A = this chain, B = another copy of it.
Amino acid sequence: MYVARAGLTPDRLAQAGAELADEIGFEKVTASALARHFGVQVASLYSHVRNTHDLKVRIGTLALAEMAGNAATALAGRSGRDALAALGNVYRDYARAHPGRYAAAQIRFTPEEAATTAGPRLSEMTRAVLRGYDLNDEDQVHAVRLLGSIFHGFVSLEQGGSFDHSTPASEQSWIRILDSLDATLRTWPCQ
């Protein structure tokens, strides 16, 4: 016995799941919680998503797409250290504004899932930053991996509170790290 249709769709579930993730934590986003949010029975969700893993993949995909979009905007008209900082801040700001979504973006995708996400677009943004530095093709791969490691590592540790119990504030370290990364990329071919 119900009043009206809730209008569920896979995208709407992913969107609501993303919002819920930011509020209560990605690992607490369950089919039950989402069903409560829409005021429907849990089983109803299964007409729109295959299972909870499917739901989580959709949330992660949404997050990656948002990050790639933010990156495209942030990188427009920037190059060099400016672009480097802009991309780093996309990661960091996104993780701070949307911790649940950021966590969702870190789930392990299968190869076919990964191909359909905006992950490749985000890699492309990283390569765009590196165009401001003089790297050959192989070094560019290493540099993409270096940037990904630092951005993800820093954001992940900062998010986990690892930097909370020492001074100065992590902001200071972030600036210094961007500086040193810029220096590294400028002198990379010298190795």
Interface residue ranges, A against B (CB under 8 Å)? 106, 108-109, 111, 114, 138-139, 141-142, 144-146, 148-154, 156-157, 160-163, 165-168, 170, 172-173, 176-177, 179-180, 183-184, 187-188, 191
How far, in angstroms, from A191 to B172 measured CA to CA in the complex? 14
Interchain CB contact under 8 A, B108 and A161: yes
How far, in angstroms, from A180 to B139 measured CA to CA in the complex? 12
Q: Find chain B residues with CB under 8 A from A188 CB.
A: 180
Of the candidates B114, B170, B191, which one forms a contact with A165 in the assembled complex, judged by CB atoms under 8 Å apart?
B114
A147 nearest in chain B by CB position: B153
How far, in angstroms, from A151 to B163 measured CA to CA in the complex? 15
A148 nearest in chain B by CB position: B157
Q: How far is the CB of A108 from chain B (nearest CB, A)?
A: 5
Sample of 17 further A-B pairs with CB below 8 A, known A138-B168, A141-B166, A149-B150: A108-B160, A139-B176, A141-B173, A142-B173, A145-B154, A145-B157, A145-B177, A146-B150, A146-B177, A148-B153, A149-B153, A149-B177, A153-B153, A153-B156, A179-B191, A183-B184, A183-B187
Of the candidates B141, B152, B173, which one forms a contact with A145 in the assembled complex, judged by CB atoms under 8 Å apart?
B173
Of the candidates B144, B146, B165, which one forms a contact with A111 in the assembled complex, judged by CB atoms under 8 Å apart?
B165
Q: How far is the CB of A16 from chain B (nearest CB, A)?
A: 23
Given A152-B156, A156-B153, A176 and B108 contact (CB-CB distance below 8 Å):
no
